[in-house]
């Protein structure tokens, strides 16, 4: 710093920090030569803490309020400076402001898929992501363990480490839970609460408080999801014949050209053929008949067809008829199967 910075620093007697960034966790108040005037005012706002560092040692942590910096307000600093009596000259110390607010909507997620053993699908790969929130719990420990001499420490500088910590513990918990993949969506809150409790102690080692972890999604690989969608769709189709006809009609509705009309006809034909193929075969008629026309056997016919030919005059009561199980041909009028018919005529 130049001469003007030194002179300007001599007249500044208010130490404060106004944060407009939103992501700053620790800010070091800059003074020329780290000199603080005796009797200077320190303003610590709500959601802030001020940490005094003297000769590399943390001397004091001060919460919200307005302080006049003098010996009686800084007993630990006085001891570190080896003052046996009050002082009135400027003293040297670094002041770090810690942002004590909650830092929310911080992202976490798996960079690579987690491989799990599932009861239904066997070995599967899943991905997970969500958010978490934290705040500084112990300013002195946070500065000593993480910040060091960084004069402007943001949440981005530690987010990668915290994210890796969450993912590592999450993978262990999910693997040990033995909860089927299809049931995981119903257990997001259970996973989140459990992970929060386990990792909270590790965050405390950094001087941080892990407030909440949220799981937004646990997903399967795309091909597995497509297979699940197909299986779900097949369960919803129901009547295959109606479904195929509906699909054909839908495609026609989108255009209406002659080619589409032909496609519709082919589609209906395919739908009918496929539906017929999938249906059970029709029942075998109980009676099968053969008749003699022009001295040639003709058939097979069922009972209703024989009666229809009698009505049309194509055959008469003297026509020879045979059915399975009979040894010889016989006259139609004498066959017991048609006695009722001839009684009505």
Residue with tokens 């040297």: 92
> What's the first-to-final CA gap in the chain, in angstroms?
129
Tell me, what's the pLDDT at 34? 59
Structure tokens, 37: 């005037």
Q: Which residues fall within 8 angstroms of residue 51, CB to CB, at 6 or more apart?
A: 58, 60, 61, 62, 95, 96, 97, 98, 139, 140, 143
Structure tokens, 109: 């997620």
Of all helices (H) and strands (E), which one includes residue 242?
Answer: helix 240-253
More confident call, 322 vs 81: 322
Q: State the average pLDDT over residues 69-86.
A: 53
Structure tokens, 283: 């029942």
Tell me, what's the pLDDT at 143? 92
**For 129-143, 188-202, 212-226, 264-278, which range has the lowest pLDDT when averaged over its residues?**
264-278
What pLDDT digit, counting tens, does each position of 124-170 carry? 888 899 999 999 999 999 999 998 888 899 999 999 999 998 888 88
More confident call, 6 vs 131: 131
Q: Band of the pLDDT at 14, cuts 50, 70, 90?
A: confident
* Residue 44 pLDDT greater than 90, yes or no: yes
What pLDDT digit, counting tens, does each position of 313-335 carry? 888 888 888 887 787 888 888 88
For the chain, what is the mean pLDDT? 78
State if pTM tops 0.85: no
* Residue 251 pLDDT greater than 60, yes or no: yes
Of 11-15, 75-79, 281-285, 321-325, which has the strongest mean pLDDT? 321-325
* Residue 265 pLDDT greater than 80, yes or no: no
CA torsion 29-35-39-45 (nearest 10°) is: 10
Helical ranges in 254-325 per DSSP H: 258-278, 303-312
Q: Which residues fall within 8 angstroms of residue 49, CB to CB, at 6 or more apart?
A: 61, 62, 63, 64, 97, 98, 100, 136, 139
Phi, then psi, of 129 in degrees rounded to 5: -155, 165
């Amino acid at each position: 710093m130049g001469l003007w910075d030194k002179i300007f620093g001599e007249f500044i007697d208010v130490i404060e920090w106004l944060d407009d960034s939103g992501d700053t966790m620790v800010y070091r108040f800059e003074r020329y030569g780290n000199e603080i005037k005796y009797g200077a005012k320190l303003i610590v706002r709500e959601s802030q803490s001020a940490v005094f560092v003297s000769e590399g040692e943390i001397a004091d942590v001060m919460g919200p309020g307005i302080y006049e910096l003098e010996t009686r307000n800084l007993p630990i600093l006085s001891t570190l400076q080896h003052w046996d009596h009050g002082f009135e000259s400027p003293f040297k110390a670094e002041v770090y402001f810690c942002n004590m607010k909650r830092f929310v909507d911080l992202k976490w997620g798996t960079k690579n898929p987690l491989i799990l053993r599932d009861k239904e699908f066997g070995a599967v790969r899943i991905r997970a992501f969500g958010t978490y929130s934290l705040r500084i719990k112990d300013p002195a420990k946070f500065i000593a363990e993480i910040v060091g001499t960084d004069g402007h420490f943001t949440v981005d500088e530690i987010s990668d480490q915290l994210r890796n910590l969450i993912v590592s513990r999450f993978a262990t918990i999910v693997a040990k839970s033995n909860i089927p993949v299809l049931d995981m969506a119903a257990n997001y809150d259970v996973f989140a609460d459990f992970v929060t409790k386990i990792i909270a102690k590790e965050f405390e080692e950094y001087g941080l408080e892990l407030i909440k972890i949220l799981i937004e999604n646990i997903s399967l690989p795309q091909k597995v999801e497509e297979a699940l969608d197909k299986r779900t769709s097949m369960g919803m189709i129901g009547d295959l014949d109606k479904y195929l006809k509906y699909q054909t009609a839908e495609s026609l509705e989108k255009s209406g050209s002659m080619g589409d009309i032909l496609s519709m006809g082919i589609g209906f034909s395919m739908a009918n053929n496929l539906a017929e193929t999938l249906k059970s075969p029709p029942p075998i008629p109980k009676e099968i008949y053969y008749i003699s026309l022009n001295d040639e056997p003709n058939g097979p016919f069922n009972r209703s067809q024989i009666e229809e030919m009698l009505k049309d005059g194509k055959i008469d009561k003297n026509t020879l008829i045979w059915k399975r199980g009979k040894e010889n041909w016989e006259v139609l009028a004498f066959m017991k199967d048609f006695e009722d018919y001839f009684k009505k005529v």
